[in-house]
Structure 1
């Protein structure tokens, strides 16, 4: 068993009403009165995985933005339900949806709260905050000005969002937005959003490709930094000072890792030509002790299906992460980043019985995470 922190030998986990009631690592046989699932000697039990950055509203097709525009809300909700189910079958029992339309991820999350065996727990951001015609404006979250930003945060709180997403910089999927290295909001704007969100008990995730956007998001006190590409007009430039500022901050760093190797990367010159530099920055952040989680950005293209997260763990190990640290980044550390510490991301008494069993030992071979043997959501076996 990997409990979210450490490995142990043969283990029996007792579950009642969707909650873990006991964890026995002595190897003793379970009580004969219990309903017992024997996963076999070659299995590893883990907490359900947490993907810190997904888009259920994107269809993982060749042009997800156009597909979104051609789909009405009723059909989009159906597609999102299917995407969530795909994630669940891969052992991804919690997802943080960082951008959708019409608060559909909130509605879907409520559906799964009522019947948790139907899908992962969803922490929804709703339409991300962006400037007029800014990155992902098609989700409907265009807003600017101090009072409008405060009101936008309040609206997301009232709608039941768990997190506020703000596009601190431009992005690759929206040609009419600012370039990815250019900031969309000022430091003062970011501070307003963070202060209002924290006052209401919400966390803030900042999409930040540009160096300036990253540094200002850190200074504003965002909870998670998404992508962290260190882009400038001349490409990715992760300088020692900016790396240290990120690593030393209180913000969690959500590294965009994991892709389906059957599909090529998209042809975004600013990213593709700089991929080795970017991966080097990720490696440096790990060595410097940054608080790292993995957000797959699932849905943005064929190379990012909604069950892609296990590939991120293998990618991280290839970069030099220890296998246990990589596993923690999609379990216990991710739970902390998302405000779910103690309830998700660990196998411990009192935690939700969201569990994944795989054939093999992912602490030795991270690829074994894809050898799914069983998935339990709130104690109910769903695969």
Structure 2
């Protein structure tokens, strides 16, 4: 197969910015990066994207739910669908993400390990969707948050068995619902912990023994505290909610920032003509949650942008470009926001050697947009080309 050369006027490699660049691709991997500005000679298939094109690594979303349809009642739709219907819906969601330049996603909750099946399909046919790093059904308590996904387990023996099952099936991460959530009728509220710190340590110790990272869904302040103490790899949401507000303890914020734990903040919505209507118990906490996020940023916490795509109409599976722009309202520069959705997000997902960067040996997952998004992050939605494992899909 003839090597491919992709030329653009600007290039962001996941860390730094360069001028005119040619990226060489063979067998799905990047084999060379030439920043001299010269166009390649014979022996390659050249795609010249033009001087006004910004080439960058494909985006990485560390927190999605491909099985949720971003409808008015995604839980009901999820439960009502049989496995074939759900898998078809997940394929559509994956395609939508990929066409937006999101070339890697971490699916943090499915049913029946369907995301693993879809991941295998994507590896056989890269143009079919992003690389999917699947968690399988999230570990939760009986009747707990997202119990309808089939991952209920309690007690040390069952928890260890749940972790081992995910390892044996080939999951890339273990997801645990450490606190309650808003989406599951009858389950504990977000501020309440579902597992004790001892139970959490069982899951973390077993997962790490097997070489798997742990992503902990944690809204409540105590759940976040327990997650940090147990050594989870990422804290998902991190909203610091209590029964009647938000308690972002400064000492806890500082400890998170000083740790190696990633904070996956599930921000990002598609703006609409009508304002987003939140439940009253959520709306009253919004500003305090954002203040905690701004403090985490100022302290230097490792923040990445997991969007929770699929859970509501304003969070479709291509919402990440909006999240990147919206993240700058919390303090980061456009370059920092872009890094949070590429190089840093790849590190959070454990794939930094292959994803989120343009470098020799990395996967040829690339996004090209018109103009420089560091001047205007809305340009991330002006997609000119998307490559997945060297295959052009748009």
Hey, what's the Cα distance between the residues in 2 that align with 1:201 and 1:116? Answer: 26
Hey, what's the Cα distance between the residues in 2 that align with 1:212 and 1:270? Answer: 19
Q: Is the 8 Å Cα contact of residues 215 and 245 (structure 1) preserved in structure 2?
A: no
- Residue 252 of structure 1 is aligned with which of 250, 262, 266? 262
State the superposition RMSD in angstroms.
Answer: 1.0
> The residue matched to 2:228 in structure 1 has which SS?
helix
> What does residue 265 of structure 1 align with?
276
Give the 5 Å matches for 1:323-342: 323-342=334-353
Hey, what's the Cα distance between the residues in 2 that align with 1:225 and 1:31? Answer: 48
> What does residue 202 of structure 1 align with?
212
> What does residue 357 of structure 2 align with?
346
- Residue 127 of structure 1 is aligned with which of 113, 127, 137? 137
> The residue matched to 1:244 in structure 2 has which SS?
helix
> What does residue 296 of structure 2 align with?
285
> The residue matched to 2:61 in structure 1 has which SS?
strand
> What does residue 366 of structure 1 align with?
377
- Partner deviation per Cα, 1:71-117 (whole Å, 9 max, x = no partner): 10011000000000000000000000000001000000011111112
- Residue 73 of structure 2 is aligned with which of 63, 66, 77? 63
Task: Give the Å deviation of 1:318.
Answer: 2.0
- Residue 115 of structure 1 is aligned with which of 125, 139, 150? 125
> The residue matched to 1:236 in structure 2 has which SS?
coil
Q: Is the 8 Å Cα contact of residues 172 and 268 (structure 1) preserved in structure 2?
A: no
> What does residue 8 of structure 2 align with?
none
> What does residue 322 of structure 1 align with?
333
Hey, what's the Cα distance between the residues in 2 that align with 1:70 and 1:102? Answer: 14
Task: Give the Å deviation of 1:245.
Answer: 1.8
- Residue 305 of structure 2 is aligned with which of 294, 311, 314? 294
Q: Is the 8 Å Cα contact of residues 128 and 165 (structure 1) preserved in structure 2?
A: yes
Hey, what's the Cα distance between the residues in 2 that align with 1:169 and 1:264? Answer: 28
Hey, what's the Cα distance between the residues in 1 that align with 2:329 and 2:244? Answer: 27
> The residue matched to 2:355 in structure 1 has which SS?
coil
Q: Is the 8 Å Cα contact of residues 297 and 330 (structure 2) preserved in structure 1?
A: no
Task: Give the Å deviation of 1:266.
Answer: 4.8
Q: Is the 8 Å Cα contact of residues 264 and 303 (structure 1) preserved in structure 2?
A: no
Please report the TM-score for the alignment, with normalisation by the length of structure 1.
0.98
> The residue matched to 1:310 in structure 2 has which SS?
helix
Task: Give the Å deviation of 1:239.
Answer: 2.2
Task: Give the Å deviation of 1:276.
Answer: 1.5
Hey, what's the Cα distance between the residues in 2 that align with 1:282 and 1:43? Answer: 32
Instruction: Tell me the number of residue pairs that the alignment of Structure 1 and Structure 2 aligns.
Output: 383
- Partner deviation per Cα, 1:164-191 (whole Å, 9 max, x = no partner): 0000100000121111000000111111
Give the 5 Å matches for 1:1-383: 1-262=11-272, 264-383=275-394
Hey, what's the Cα distance between the residues in 1 that align with 2:361 and 2:217? Answer: 33
Task: Give the Å deviation of 1:238.
Answer: 1.4
> The residue matched to 2:47 in structure 1 has which SS?
coil
- Partner deviation per Cα, 1:298-348 (whole Å, 9 max, x = no partner): 000101000000111101112210111111111111111111011100000
- Partner deviation per Cα, 1:209-253 (whole Å, 9 max, x = no partner): 000000000000000000000001121221211211221121100
- Partner deviation per Cα, 1:231-288 (whole Å, 9 max, x = no partner): 0112122121121122112110001111011264353223222212111111111110
Q: Is the 8 Å Cα contact of residues 204 and 222 (structure 1) preserved in structure 2?
A: yes
Hey, what's the Cα distance between the residues in 1 that align with 2:287 and 2:54? Answer: 33
> The residue matched to 2:256 in structure 1 has which SS?
helix
Hey, what's the Cα distance between the residues in 1 that align with 2:330 and 2:233? Answer: 24
Q: Is the 8 Å Cα contact of residues 217 and 236 (structure 2) preserved in structure 1?
A: yes
